[in-house]
Structure 1
Amino acid sequence: MDYKLSDKNPSFDEYQTLHKTTGWNAKELYTYDQLYQAICNSWCSISIYDGTALIGYGRIISDGIYQTFICDVMVHPDYKRQGIGTKVMEALLSHCKRQEIKWIQLSCAKGKQQFYQKLGFAERDPGAPGMMLFMVK
């Protein structure tokens, strides 16, 4: 297939439709207005379309020099295992390379480590794990 790649944010409706296929907002911690504002504040966004349908998306938050974090990589379920996620990641990594970013971090969903390992990512040393603080009322 000939998919269209864009470095522009998708529309609110396109993003919401794709995001809902992930189940990531099941607890409704954020409104879709908040989630869309978040992607609009990204350092880099990549969208992939099949015609007018958004089928893949990913973004980077970064200071443009030192801290770079890939997040929200998603592929519509009907397009899984067709190379869409790889295309998103390659475009994000190409952007980092052009900007001479040397260290790229990400968190991935359970069971997705192998996908990112194929792209050159390595798991953090168990002696230096990533950490998080989840602030919910």
Structure 2
Amino acid sequence: MNLVKWIFDDEIEVALAQDFDKALLTRLGFKLNKTSKHSRATPNVYYIPYPTYDAFSPTTYVFTHNERLRDICLRLHELGFVFWGTFKTEKSPIDYMRELQYRGVLTTPFRALNAGDLETVLIDETQRSK
């Protein structure tokens, strides 16, 4: 399973399955860093940097409109990545993907790992912003 573990203000942390060809991500134009200022080096974990002008999420459930971050997350979704959710914060990858659904940017279900359960997430059409 390929997992979007965390989104920081300037990079996305991903965990790749051992059999995943990470060259696919580099061919799509993603730079993969093995180390980060946020975490220590871990096997099969990489960091995808993205340009940012604002904090990813200045407070809970508030996300900035960063086009590069949006594009990377949508591409990872298309590749079948699973977006992680955590009880510790309301700024996790699953929350960001839900935000894209609220905005109407993402209209298809995405896969998530939430509290240890693998699920498919699609918000109700009536919850989308108009």
The alignment's TM-score, normalised by the length of structure 1, stands at 0.33
Which has more radius of gyration? Answer: 1
The alignment's TM-score, normalised by the length of structure 2, stands at 0.34
**Which structure: greater helix fraction?**
1
